[in-house]
Amino acid sequence: MKKIARTLAVCFSLMPILLATTVSATGVASVPPPQIAKPSLIITAFGGSSSLDFAELFNQTGEPISVDGLTLEAISVDSSGVCNDQILQLGTGWLLPQKYFIALPDASQASLNCDIQTSHLSQIILADASGKAIQTIALPTSTTGSAWIHQQRSNKSATREISGNFTTDYKAPKGPIDCQGIIQNGINTLCNDGLYLTPDDTGGLVIVEVLPHSRDCSPLDSSNDCADYIKVYNSTNTPIDLSQYRLRAGYKGQNTSVTNAFSLNGMLTPGSYSAIAYRDDGNSISLTDSGDFVWLEDAAGIKIYEPVVEYPSASSVSKVGSAWAFDGAGWQWTITPQPFGPNIVTQPTVAATSTSAIVSSLKPCADNQYRNPDTNRCKLTASTVTSLVPCAENQERNPATNRCKAISSASSLTPCQPGWTRNPDTNRCRKGTGAILGSSIKDVKDPHSATSYTGWIVAAAAIVAALGYGVYEWRQEIANLFLRLKSRLAR
C-alpha cells in the first residue's frame, strides 16, 4: 500500500505540467514556429523602371562581410510571362559594419526583351555564392511602372528587420532620388559607402621594437622607458599612409577591443619611426608583461600581415624598462629603448669579480701552509709534511689530514665474553654460539600465543552479531512461538 501511495503522489505532482501543455484539435502538442535568422546583408532600397536600375545594401552586423560571389537577380515579366532574368554581380571587396553599398548593373545588362507597355519587375533575389537566397522581395504589379523607387520603412534607424511582406517592409519615397552617391532629398537619403579592399601587404611598414614592461615614473619624468609602446618603421623610399593599418597585441581568437587593437594615423615618411603608446580611447596602452604576440593588420582587422612578433616574458625585475628590439639580424633585449629613432641594443653590464679580489678576502693561511688555487683552501707545504713527528708503532698517518690514527687489527680487539661470538664483518661481539648465529632462521611463534587467538575472537564476534541481528528481526515470531509452547504446556 505504501508503494501504491507513493506512485499516486508522483503522478499527482506531474499533473500541472501535463495540463500546461497546449494540445491542438488533432491531439498533437503545438510547437512554436522556429526563429528565422536575421540576415546579415539586406536590401534597404531599390528602384528602376521595367528592370532593376540599382539596389542599396546594408551590413547590419558588427563584422565585415565579403561580397565576393554574391548576386542580385531581378526577374521581369510581361503579358507573355518572364521576359528578362537579370543577374547582377556585386563585385569584389568587403562591406564594412553598419555601411551601405549601392549595386548598379553594367551596360551589358541594360537591354531588355520585354513589352514596355505591360512589363514590370516582379521579384528581386539576393543570393550567396552557392545560390542560396539571402533575401527575396516579391513585388505586386502596381508597385512598379515607368519610374519607381522603394525604400525600407525603417531605413537609417537602429532596427532593420525584414518581415517578408513587401507592403510593410518598404515605402515609396517622396520626390526623385539620385542613387549614385549620398543624396538627401527631404527625408529620403540613399548612401553609398562603397566596398572596402584590404591592402596586399604592409607596403614596407615593419615592427622593430616593443617595450612591454615600463618603469613607474613620476609625472615629470619623460624618459623613454616610462610607458609601454610598439614602434614601427618605414623601410621604403616612399611615404606610407598609416590609416590603412592597425596594430594588434594578444593572441589568435582574442576579441578586438581598445585594449589590444590600436589604430594608426598620418603619413610616415621614408626611413622614419613612429611609436604607438596610446589606445584609441586616449589612454596609455598596457602590454602583457608575461610575453605575448604583436602584429600588423589592415584597418578593418580582416587580414594579418607577417611577420608576427613574439616577445618573451618581461615580468622579472631585470626586464623592467627594457625593450625587445630588432638589431637587423635578430631580436634581443636592450636596456636603452629608443621610441623615436633607430634601435640601440645595449646589454646590461655585469660587474666581474677578479680572482685576486676573492683571494684577498679569505683568511690568510698559516706559515707552514699554502693556498690551493683550485679550492682556495690552505694545505701544508711539502717541507712541513717531512718535518712531522713520526707516528707510533700501532698508528698510521692519514694522507688527507697528515694526522696519526690507530691501526685497527683483529688481534688487538678485546676478547668476547664466554657464550658470545665475534661478527667477522664488524668485529663486534654478539650473544650466541654455533652456526645458528650466522644463519637466517627466524624465531618460530608459539601457536598458543595471544596473536594466534585473534582470528577466533573476530569470528566469534561476527557470529554473535549475526545471531543478535537475527533475533532482533524475528523477535515477534520468537515471542509468539514461546507463547504457543507455554499454552500447550499449561494444558
> Which whole number is the average pLDDT over 19-34?
39
Give the pLDDT of residue 104: 82
Dig out the grid coordinates for 20 from the structure.
500546461
Write the CB contacts of 201 (distance below 8 Å, at least 6 apart in sequence).
305
Judged against a pLDDT cut of 60, whether residue 41 lies above it is answered with: yes
E strand or H helix at 88, and its extent? strand 81-89
> Which residues in 142-158 are b (16+ Cβ under 10 Å) and which e?
ebbeeebbbbbeebeee
The torsion angles phi and psi of 420, rounded to 5 degrees, stand at -110, 155
Report the alpha-carbon angle 200-97-66, nearest 5: 50
- Exposed e or buried b for every residue in 440-459, given b needs 16+ CB within 10 A? eeeeeeeeeeeeeeeeeeee
Residue 242 has pLDDT above 90, yes or no: yes
Report the C-alpha gap between 239 and 13 in whole angstroms: 78
- The string of pLDDT tens digits covering residues 180-200 is 544 444 445 677 888 999 999
CATH class of 41-190: mainly beta
At 348, the pLDDT band (50, 70, 90 cuts) reads: confident
The answer to whether residues 288 and 341 touch, using CB atoms and an 8 Å cutoff, is no
User: What residue ranges do the domains of the chain occupy?
Assistant: 41-190, 205-334, 357-406
pLDDT at 171 over 50: yes
Q: What's the pLDDT band for 264 if we cut at 50, 70, 90?
A: very high
Q: How many CB atoms lie within 10 A of CB 364?
A: 10
Cα 262–chain centre separation:
20
pLDDT tens-digit readout, 447-458: 555 555 676 787
Which residue in 243, 251, 244, 247 sits closest to 232, CA to CA? 247
* pLDDT over threshold 60, residue 8: no
Residue with cell 611598414: 205
User: Average pLDDT of 193-222?
Assistant: 94
Of the CA atoms within 13 Å of residue 141, those in its CB half-sphere come to 7
Q: How many CB atoms lie within 10 A of CB 248?
A: 19
Q: What is the pLDDT of residue 183?
A: 44
Does residue 128 surpass a pLDDT of 80?
yes
Residue-wise burial string across 386-416, b where 16 or more C-beta atoms lie within 10 A, e elsewhere: eeeeeeeeeeeeeeeeeebeeeeeeeeeeee
Summarize the confidence of residues 221-247 as an average pLDDT.
Answer: 95
Distance from C-alpha of 45 to C-alpha of 57, rounded to nearest angstrom = 7
For residue 92, what pLDDT is reported?
Answer: 92
Q: What is the pLDDT of residue 111?
A: 52
> What is the rounded average pLDDT of the residues 80-97?
87
41-190 and 205-334, same CATH topology: yes
Q: Report the pLDDT value the prediction gives residue 239, as an integer from 0 to 100.
A: 97
408 contact partners, CB below 8 Å, separation of at least 6 = 427
Query: Which stretch of 16-25, 119-128, 191-200, 345-354 has the lowest confidence by average pLDDT?
Result: 16-25
Fold adopted by 205-334: Immunoglobulin-like (2.60.40)
Flag whether pLDDT at 446 surpasses 70: no
Mean pLDDT of the chain: 77
From residue 212, give the alpha-carbon distance in Å to each of 208, 222, 225.
13, 17, 10
Please enumerate in sequence order all residues whose Cβ is within 8 A of that of 160, keeping only pairs 6 or more positions apart, or say none. Answer: 42, 44, 58, 60, 152, 154
Cell of 211: 617595450
Task: For residue range 266-308, list pLDDT tens digits in order.
Answer: 999 999 999 999 999 999 999 999 999 999 999 999 999 999 9
Query: Could you tell me the strand order of the sheet in which 71-78 lies?
Result: 81-89, 71-78, 120-127, 133-138
pLDDT, position 33: 42
User: Residue 38 — very low, low, confident or very high, per pLDDT cuts 50/70/90?
Assistant: low
The pLDDT of residue 31 is above 50: no
Interacting residues of 155 by C-beta distance below 8 A, sequence separation 6+: 44, 45
Cβ-in-10-Å burial (0-12, 13-18, 19+) of 183 comes to middle
Within 10 A of 64 (CB to CB), how many other CB atoms are there? 20
First to last CA, the chain: 40
Report percent pLDDT > 70 for the chain. 74
Give the integer Cα–Cα distance in Å for 295 and 305.
7
Return the minimum-mean-pLDDT range out of 190-204, 236-250, 345-359: 345-359
